[in-house]
Structure 1
Amino acid sequence: MAGGAQERSPLLHLVAGGCGGTVGAIFTCPLEVIKTRLQSSKLAFRAVYYPQVQLGTISAEGMVRQTAVSPGLIRVLKSILEKEGPRSLFRGLGPNLVGVAPSRAVYFGCYSKAKEQFNHLFVPNSNLVHICSAGSAAFITNSLMNPIWMVKTRMQLERRVRGSKQMNALQCTRYVYRTEGIRGFYRGLTASYAGISETIICFAIYESLKKHVNDIQLAPSPAGGSERSSTNFLGLMVAAAVAKGCASCIAYPHEVIRTRLREEGTKYKTFIQTARLVAREEGYLAFYRGLFAQLVRQIPNTAIVLSTYELIVYLLEDRVK
């Protein structure tokens, strides 16, 4: 690639990733709010807010015991609309929009640079290179962006009575700092580090599928170039969707643990302690609350971001050749 193209490509990747991430964040924000509420401990144990969740049963000893039943996506959506209004479906959108562009830029920049370095250490473009690159990029991105995601999660968990005023992002930031200090902004970071496994799995599968997509050769036609480009673009979207879907299903429990750690004034203190507590009190199925909302939100979003990234790189390389 020519020198001028190399200088322009980081800016183009930043703009493309930022725009794609921003649009995706806006359209998928309601699903993210629902997913976060489903992950929260307050959904299962606060009978006032979700009275239909609590079922009283009689144990063998004659004692009344409360059994938590997790509601579905539609029920949570309906409850938010009825009790809080449509605006609550966009809680945390401000921090999301502030963080999405720089986080995409940091991630793709670190991934590209790490891939370049690891290609000199291991077999070029091997699965080991992709795994190490994705893990390194995710570690750096999570460390830098955790305060923003912490504020976003806290805002999404805040419930309100219809018509009442809620904290904005700045007020929420000040409140966290005043009540918990700097350390408060890094709650859930250990769970985010555990979630690096999802990123590694996603990119390992994606890079493997991308090789097969790039190996597809179409028969020559009058519009061969554009046809090949559109087919590869669609193939990359499918590859990204499959990779993200598999990774989310495998590594999803860390998201539930991370949300619990970010709740205000709860009994959840550390990653291992939270995992044990959730498993003991709610069962292992609790680790998959909100998975459907996550898949509906993340799969198309990831497919758009990754395929757009690849398309811009392809178009840039094609123009300078």
Structure 2
Amino acid sequence: MSNAVANGLAGAGGGIIAQIITYPLQTVNTRQQTERVAKKGLRNSDGSLPTSKRHEVARPTNTLLQIIQVIRTEGWGGLYSGLRPSLFGTAASQGVYYYFYQVFKNRAEAIAAAHRDKGRGDGTVGMLSWLVVAAIAGSLNVLFTNPIWVLVTRMQTHTQAERKIMEKRREALLREASERSLVDSTLSDKLTELDSEKPRPYGTLHAAREVYNEAGIAGFWKGIVPTLIMVCNPSIQFMIYESLLKHLRRKRAANKQGSKNITSLEVFLSGAVAKLGATLATYPLLVVKSRLQAKQEIGGNISLRYSGTLDAIIKMIRYEGLPAFYKGMSTKIVQSVFAASVLFMIKEELVKLYMTLAHKSQKVILNLVK
């Protein structure tokens, strides 16, 4: 087994474990990102308030309180909506990414070594090269796995979309009653019945059919533009990560310490710092991507629904303001930094385990041959 395959499998394993641990935070964060709330005082063309402002139940902004609210209203299953396709997506995404990352990393290191032999450079790979390697691997990963994440986003925000649909139905009932000057038991019964309705069951196949019915095959690549641009996220992440590890090795070598191996704690902290820097730089694109992939009923009013990336950016600035691009950022920082740290730590340990087993098996084979 090549080191590229070993890194791919290790990345998939680490990604799955990190995903399971942090998934509730990811679910809440996606809902935070896709919640459209118009600027204060903004009105529709007919002078009425946007849908998102009327009959809206007050919702907590604190992440922990939001998690508790989801458990109360939807049960523990609400926090893990879309977990199965997400785990598959994580395994596929991390496997594809780390496989191609290692392939191109090996190539970059070979080129650097060749340059050193010719008297150019010290044989190490520079920051720009790490950036290019991560960008290529990330682009291939996005093209292969985007359909999975469209389904995951739909499943995570299904309850949110259903709530908006019910709000619109309530408004229609109240408007009809107001126009007819009727406030009777029939209206009260209808409102009670509406309030007692629960979101419909929503599985992976249901989400896939819904996406296909809305936009055909192209619907599975919604949000691909900001997602491709976001390739710079793991690129920045790995540039920082590899640079930190390189610095640690050099420092250890300069101090003439016995071992140059990086510890699990150092890998964990390096991964955390790397992911933090990448998240801060690219979070607005993540919000745009989530909104494009979510069911558009979440927007309610037409001014808060999007036809594409540029349309989403323009409408978010016009109707919600710049803070909309950073909704749920604190939750994402906690989730992504912790997940990345766990992923890096587990991946490195799995690669070490594989290398140890491969070395032992090689010894056994050599002994048998002798």
TM-score range, shorter chain: 0.7 to 0.9
- Residues 38-89 of structure 1: per-residue CA shift (max 9 Å, x gap): 0013467635785226xxxxxxxxxxxxxxxx92323432332333222111
Give the Cα–Cα distance (whole angstroms) in 1 for the partners of residues 270 and 286 of structure 2. 23
Choose 84-93 or 13-22, whichever is displaced more: 13-22
Preserved contact between residue 84 and residue 162 of structure 1 (Cα < 8 Å): no
Give the 5 Å matches for 1:113-192.
Answer: 113-119=103-109, 120=111, 124-159=124-159, 165-192=200-227
Change beyond 3 A, Cα 1:30–1:13 = same
Change beyond 3 A, Cα 1:289–1:143 = same
Matched, 1:24 2:18: yes
RMSD (Å) for aligned C-alpha atoms: 2.8
Change beyond 3 A, Cα 1:216–1:313 = farther
Aligned partner of 1:202 in structure 2 is 237
**How far apart are residue 118 of structure 1 and its match?**
3.7
Preserved contact between residue 241 and residue 274 of structure 2 (Cα < 8 Å): yes
- Which residue type is aligned with residue 280 of structure 1? R
Partner of residue 52 from structure 2, selected from 46, 49, 56: 46
Choose 262-271 or 194-203, whichever is displaced more: 262-271
Partner of residue 241 from structure 1, selected from 258, 267, 272: 272
- Residues 247-292 of structure 1: per-residue CA shift (max 9 Å, x gap): 1011100111001111223621222221121112111111111111
Preserved contact between residue 214 and residue 232 of structure 1 (Cα < 8 Å): no
Helix, strand or coil at the partner of 1:52: coil
**How far apart are residue 18 of structure 1 and its match?**
2.3
- Which residue type is aligned with residue 16 of structure 1? A
Change beyond 3 A, Cα 1:220–1:249 = closer
Matched, 1:33 2:38: no
Partner of residue 103 from structure 1, selected from 90, 93, 99: 93
Change beyond 3 A, Cα 1:14–1:200 = closer
Higher relative CO (Cα under 8 Å, sequence separation at least 6) belongs to 2
Aligned partner of 2:284 in structure 1 is 253
Preserved contact between residue 213 and residue 232 of structure 1 (Cα < 8 Å): no
Preserved contact between residue 28 and residue 66 of structure 2 (Cα < 8 Å): yes
Helix, strand or coil at the partner of 1:206: helix
Change beyond 3 A, Cα 1:258–1:71 = same
- Residues 114-135 of structure 1: per-residue CA shift (max 9 Å, x gap): 2233442886411111000011
Give the Cα–Cα distance (whole angstroms) in 1 for the partners of residues 197 and 68 of structure 2. 14
Give the Cα–Cα distance (whole angstroms) in 2 for the partners of residues 152 and 126 of structure 1. 36
Give the Cα–Cα distance (whole angstroms) in 1 for the partners of residues 75 and 141 of structure 2. 33
Aligned partner of 2:77 in structure 1 is 87
- Residues 166-195 of structure 1: per-residue CA shift (max 9 Å, x gap): 211122112211332101101011110121
Aligned partner of 1:3 in structure 2 is none
Give the Cα–Cα distance (whole angstroms) in 2 for the partners of residues 198 and 36 of structure 1. 17
Matched, 1:292 2:326: no
Change beyond 3 A, Cα 1:315–1:49 = farther
| Long gaps (5+) in structure 2 | 39-50, 116-120, 163-195, 300-304, 361-370
Change beyond 3 A, Cα 1:281–1:50 = same
TM (norm. structure 1) is 0.81
Matched, 1:304 2:342: yes
**How far apart are residue 151 of structure 1 and its match?**
0.3
Change beyond 3 A, Cα 1:270–1:111 = same
Greater C-alpha radius of gyration: 2
Kindly tell me the number of residue pairs found equivalent between the two proteins: 294
| Long gaps (5+) in structure 1 | 1-6, 54-69
- Which residue type is aligned with residue 150 of structure 2? M
Choose 157-166 or 301-310, whichever is displaced more: 157-166
**How far apart are residue 35 of structure 1 and its match?**
0.3
**How far apart are residue 27 of structure 1 and its match?**
1.7
Change beyond 3 A, Cα 1:285–1:93 = same
Give the Cα–Cα distance (whole angstroms) in 2 for the partners of residues 80 and 146 of structure 1. 26
Helix, strand or coil at the partner of 2:208: helix
- Which residue type is aligned with residue 253 of structure 1? P
